[in-house]
Amino acid sequence: MSFTQDPKGYSYSHALLGAAIYGEEDPAIRETLKEEREWQEFKKDTARLKAEIRRKIPTSQEWVAMTGQQKCSFKIAGRGEKAIASALDISVKESPSGNSYSHALLGTAIYGVKDPALQAMLKEEIEWKELKRDPAKLRAEVRRRMPTGQEWMAMTKKEKKFKIAERGENAIANALGVSLEQDPCANPYSHALLGAAIYGEDDPAIQAALRRAKKNEDE
Is residue 69 domain-shared with residue 97, that is, in the same domain? yes
pLDDT tens string 177-214: 999 989 999 988 999 999 999 999 999 999 998 888 77
Q: Are residues 62 and 72 in the same domain?
A: yes
The domain boundary, picked from 108, 133, 158, lies at 133
- Domain extent, residue 27, equals 1-44
pLDDT (0 to 100) of residue 2: 47
Tell which of 85, 107, 133 closes a domain. Answer: 133
Last-in-domain residue among 133, 163, 191: 133
Same domain, 143 and 128: no
The verdict on pTM exceeding 0.85 is: no
Q: Which position has the higher pLDDT, 1 or 169? A: 169
Residues 129 and 149 in one domain: no
Amino acid letter, 68: G
The 3-state DSSP class for residue 154 equals coil
DSSP 194: H
pLDDT score at 26: 73
| Residue 127 sits in the same domain as residue 81 | yes
50 and 38 housed in the same domain: no
166 or 110, higher pLDDT: 110
The answer to whether residues 57 and 29 belong to one domain is no
Q: Are residues 187 and 211 in the same domain?
A: yes
Asked if 168 contacts 162 with a C-beta cutoff of 8 angstroms, the reply is yes
Q: Give the three-class secondary structure for 128.
A: helix
Is there a single domain that holds both residue 206 and residue 171?
Answer: yes
pLDDT digit string, tens, across residues 160-178: 988 999 899 999 999 999 9
117 and 69 fall within a common domain: yes
Q: At residue 9, does pLDDT exceed 70? A: no
Closest-CA residue to 43 (of 104, 86, 100): 86
pLDDT at 8: 42
Judge if 113 and 59 occupy the same domain: yes
| Among candidate residues 179, 56, 57, the one with its CA nearest the CA of residue 118 | 57
Closest CA to 70 of 96, 95, 97, 90: 97
The domain total for the chain is 3
Does residue 26 sit in the same domain as residue 60? Answer: no
pLDDT tens-place string over residues 45-84 = 999 999 999 999 999 999 999 999 999 999 999 999 999 9
